[in-house]
Amino acid sequence: MQFGRRSFLKMVPAAALAATGTGTVAGLWSSAARAAEPLRVGSILSVTGPAAFLGEDMKAGLELAVDEFNAAGGMGGRKIEWTYYDAESQTQKGITATRRLISQDKVEVILSGGNMSGIALAMAPITNAAKVPFISSEGALAIVTPVAERQYVFKSTVDDGDVLERIADYLDKKKIKKVALIADTSGFGQGAVGQMKIVGPKRGLDVMYESFAPSDTDMMPQLTRIRDAGAEAIICWTVTPAGVVFLKQAQQLGLDKKTLIHSYGFVSADYMKLAGDAANTLLLASLKLPVGDQLPDSDPLKAGILKMMKAYEARFKRPASIYAAESYDGALLAREALKKVGGDVSKLSQGMEQIKDFPGISGVFTFSPERHSGLSKQDIVLVNWRDGRFNLADYA
Amino acid sequence: MASIEAKTGPMTHSRLPRRGLSRHARLALVWLALAAVPFVVPNAYWISLANLALINLVLIASLNLLMGYGGQISLAHAGFFGLGAYASGILNVRYGLPPWAGLPAAAVVAGLGALLIGIPALRLRGHYLAMATLGWNAILVVFFTQLVGLTGGPNGLLGVAPFSIFGHALDTEAKAFPLAWAVAFLVMLAISNLLASRIGRSIRAVATNELGAQSLGIDSFRTKLAVFVLSAGMAGIAGSLYVHINQYASPETFGIAPSIMLLVMVAIGGAGTFYGPMLGALIYTAVPQILLDYEDAELMLFGLGLLVVLILFPRGLAGIPAALAGLVRRRRA
């Protein structure tokens, strides 16, 4: 058999041709689909990697929204064609996938930015330069500020500053002045530290700061310092299982007699079950979703929350989390904004800025040309964990 | 590595620069062909991938210099990449220096970072060296994450300016391409010249037989240190390109996982082959994009592909023709 280098070299271009051939076919197919002119919506989510536990819920929230909207005629009078890419909790992958959504898939709206603030922060300048509206379901305020450089970027999540203001309101009520904030070293934790340094002095709180790594399994030294300093309330800021360690060790030191508060990043039934009776005295600053059924009927969110939770549970066989609500809200907001501008997607940003007192799932949204983050401290309630579920502890 | 080249037989010899084009002309031709990329690809997303591939090429080629030719294992290459990115980015964001000043500074800072760890670590060999560099990469990531005032911490470094020429910002994919193209060319040219020089021969001699090289009067420690620092400096240059083209950097891009992937890509492309890193960079950039369409199966397919190549073609993709030729020869015999 004559199978030398020459015949092999002939095979290489053939293989390359075959590879590009399939690419062209895929390209033709998607341009044919475009002829029907659906609204092209893109999303970046991290359904693998460290942030996957958020990504799965956010993906489910978007899937639910897309299907519900399409069944009711779509968005702005057009059916939604939804594309999503997995950023694998990596910023570089998120950036490349965003460019693919914009240049290749030519999406007209982007919902959710990788369910990590770091990814959304990197995406914001890219989407803004491309003038593609981007409704982020990630937390950091810097995603949408300064507004002059973020005309096309909005976020559907609560600001840490507002959550801390709400906690300060509660501490005021209880006449507590001396507070400890123990935050993890991730962007989520350190963002809260930055905001507390503004909110604390403003509200006359005497705040001490401690930190821990998200993978830590021991925080006795930090908690002992907090105990010795005599803090009356301890606020913990993390989304990682280290928050369970915090609860158990605080109980060992007798700190559970003080006011223990976890942030909205820890509102998870799994974590509460892991903490066991160490969670008995805990309060969590949460969005209203987990206690939707306990809200007074006058609450503008109640009906929407119950409807969404029912649909979500029927489809995914698990209760909706606040993260699923955040991405679902992004889709709700895009639809509402398109209504305001007669379905003209090129004016979606103007439509977003006109949204006032709009009840979503996470809260009541109000945007303006000066403020691209829509929630306020009124959307935060304090909840506790009793009888295997979250309960409303402090409404307003 | 010299021994491997000798073993690959007549085929490899016919492709060596001695016959036909000189090595410079060959490199120039390849790069002229690459210049056409922005004109033949369908949209800006593809150009952004080309830019990324060129940055990855600088990374993989510089690691190949250390690994393939120098015989050292470094698991800190992404860390040096990050040192360059943060050095250049921080000088720009916090001190207002232009990216053009950041580019050489990135090379110097990454080189110094390598010198610092290289002096103690290069006395180690094999797995021990790998562990030491791995630790160094982990330490660098802690710095990137914790020095919030400088690096922006876990949320990343925001507001990095793009390169600009005569006040004209290279802020789109198409405008950034010529820069990445030119820098990658210069790095490849530098590697090519280095390998052809006396130092390049010492590097290979030390990699082949350290004791033998020492007996011939080559200072093996200084040779290893030099190639380690040079390779890190090149990674620093890649970092500067990365941070100013993306206008952003965050710590997890420079962690241990990317360091391991770069190492794998050197092996996949073909360690110790000059053009092997081009294949490595192409695969490192393209495969994740192709697999994006397969959602959950992505990581599995990627891992499977790596296994297949490494088991069937231990010399990497660049070694496939040689491997096939060897197979045919054995069949005939």
Q: Which residues of A touch B160 (CB under 8 A)?
A: none
Enter the tokens of residue B162: 């793009």
Question: How much is the pTM?
Answer: 0.79
Query: CB-based burial of residue A361 (10 Å sphere; 0-12 exposed, 13-18 middle, 19+ buried)?
Result: buried
Residues 6+ apart with CB under 8 A from A345: A39, A76, A108, A109, A133, A338
The number of distinct structural domains making up chain B is 1
> What count of other Cβ atoms lies within 10 Å of the Cβ of residue A248?
16
For residues A12 and A14, what is the distance between their CA atoms, to the nearest angstrom? 5
Q: Which residues 271-310 of chain B have a CB within 8 Å of chain A?
A: 288-289, 292, 295-296, 298-299
Amino acid letter for position A92: Q
For residues A145 and B249, what is the distance between their CA atoms, to the nearest angstrom? 18
Asked, for residue B322, whether it belongs to a domain, the answer is: no
Nearest residue on chain B to A98, judged by CA atoms? B45
The answer to whether B49 and B108 are in contact (CB under 8 A) is no
* Residue (of B254, B323, B226, B237) closest to B61 by Cα position: B237
Q: Which residues of A touch B324 (CB under 8 A)?
A: 3, 5, 8
The answer to whether B17 and B26 are in contact (CB under 8 A) is yes
For residues A94 and B303, what is the distance between their CA atoms, to the nearest angstrom? 20
Q: Which residues of B touch A85 (CB under 8 A)?
A: 292
- For tokens 């080249």, name the residue: B5
The answer to whether B226 and B103 are in contact (CB under 8 A) is no
Contact A117/B155, CB-based, under 8 Å? yes
The answer to whether A46 and A116 are in contact (CB under 8 A) is yes
Q: By the CB < 8 Å criterion, does B14 face chain A? A: no
Asked, for residue B129, whether it belongs to a domain, the answer is: yes
Asked, for residue B107, whether it belongs to a domain, the answer is: yes
Determine if residue A73 is left, alpha or beta; phi over 0 gives left, psi from -120 to 50 gives alpha, anything else beta.
Answer: left
Q: Which residues of A touch B156 (CB under 8 A)?
A: 91, 118, 121-122
pLDDT of residue B8: 38
* Domain enclosing residue B131, as ranges: 22-34+42-255
Q: What is the DSSP string of B6-75?
A: HHTHHHHHHHSTTSSS-HHHHHHHHHHHHTTHHHHSSSHHHHHHHHHHHHHHHHHHHHHIIIIIT----S
Cα angle: A77, vertex A78, A83; to 5 degrees: 145
| Strand partners of residue A185 | none
Q: Which of B151, B250, B256 best probes binding to A when mutated, by most A CB atoms within 10 angstroms?
A: B250
* Residue (of A132, A68, A136) closest to A105 by Cα position: A132
Q: By the CB < 8 Å criterion, does B323 face chain A? A: no
Kindly report, residue by residue over B12-63, the tens digit of the pLDDT: 343 444 556 788 888 888 888 888 888 888 888 888 899 999 999 999 999 9
Asked, for residue B195, whether it belongs to a domain, the answer is: yes
At residue B123, what are phi and psi to the nearest 5 degrees?
A: -75, -10
The answer to whether A160 and A141 are in contact (CB under 8 A) is yes
pLDDT of residue B68: 85
Query: Where does chain B show beta strands of DSSP type E?
Result: 164-165, 168-169
| Strand partners of residue A211 | A183
Asked, for residue B51, whether it belongs to a domain, the answer is: yes
Q: How many Å is the Cα radius of gyration of chain A?
A: 23
For residues B162 and B160, what is the distance between their CA atoms, to the nearest angstrom? 7
* Residue (of B103, B101, B258) closest to B187 by Cα position: B103
Q: What is the DSSP string of A55-110?
A: HHHHHHHHHHHHHHHHHTT-BTTB-EEEEEEE-TT-HHHHHHHHHIIIIIS--SEE
Contact B248/A91, CB-based, under 8 Å? yes
Q: What is the mean pLDDT of residues B308-327?
A: 74
* Residue (of B64, B47, B18, B57) closest to B245 by Cα position: B47
For residues A203 and A162, what is the distance between their CA atoms, to the nearest angstrom? 12
Question: Chain A closest CA to B129's CA: distance in Å?
Answer: 26
Asked, for residue B290, whether it belongs to a domain, the answer is: no
Asked, for residue B199, whether it belongs to a domain, the answer is: yes
Q: Which of B292, B300, B330 best probes binding to A when mutated, by most A CB atoms within 10 angstroms?
A: B292
Sheet containing A109-113: give its strands across. A80-86, A39-45, A109-113, A134-136, A153-155
Number of inter-chain CB pairs under 8 A, A vs B: 96
Enter the tokens of residue B261: 């992937």
pLDDT tens-place values along chain A, 396 residues long: 344 444 444 444 444 444 444 444 444 444 444 445 899 999 999 988 778 888 899 999 999 999 999 999 888 889 999 999 998 888 888 988 999 999 889 999 999 999 888 889 889 989 998 999 999 998 888 889 889 989 999 999 999 999 999 999 999 999 999 999 999 887 788 889 989 999 999 999 999 999 998 888 999 999 999 999 999 999 999 988 899 999 999 999 999 899 999 999 899 888 999 999 999 999 999 999 999 999 999 999 999 999 999 999 999 999 899 999 999 999 999 999 999 998 888 899 999 999 999 999 999 999 999 999 999 999 999 999 998 899 999 887
Helix (H) or strand (E) holding B117: helix B99-121
pLDDT of residue A36: 53
Contact B253/A90, CB-based, under 8 Å? yes
- For tokens 């402090």, name the residue: A394
Contact A8/B299, CB-based, under 8 Å? no
The answer to whether B236 and B108 are in contact (CB under 8 A) is yes
Residues 6+ apart with CB under 8 A from B102: B87, B88, B89, B91, B92, B240, B243, B244
pLDDT of residue A25: 45
Q: Which residues of A touch B155 (CB under 8 A)?
A: 117-118, 121, 140, 142, 187, 190-191
pLDDT of residue A231: 94
Nearest residue on chain B to A119, judged by CA atoms? B155
Kindly report, residue by residue over B141-196, the tens digit of the pLDDT: 989 988 878 888 777 888 888 888 887 888 888 888 999 999 999 999 999 999 88
Q: Which residues of A touch B247 (CB under 8 A)?
A: 125
Q: At CB < 8 Å, which residues of chain A contact B?
A: 1, 3-5, 8-9, 27, 47-48, 85-86, 88-93, 95-97, 99-100, 102-104, 117-118, 121-122, 125, 129, 140, 142, 185-187, 190-191
**pLDDT above 90 coverage of chain B, percent:** 26
pLDDT of residue B5: 42
Question: Chain B closest CA to A126's CA: distance in Å?
Answer: 9
Helix then strand then coil, in percent of chain A rounded to 5, is 50, 20, 30
The separation between CA B19 and the C-alpha centre of its own chain, rounded to angstroms, equals: 28
Question: Chain B closest CA to A172's CA: distance in Å?
Answer: 31
More confident residue, A31 or B271: B271
Write the ipTM: 0.74
Asked, for residue B273, whether it belongs to a domain, the answer is: no
Residues 6+ apart with CB under 8 A from A231: A178, A179, A180, A208, A258
Determine if residue A212 is left, alpha or beta; phi over 0 gives left, psi from -120 to 50 gives alpha, anything else beta.
Answer: beta
* Residue (of A163, A226, A150) closest to A189 by Cα position: A163
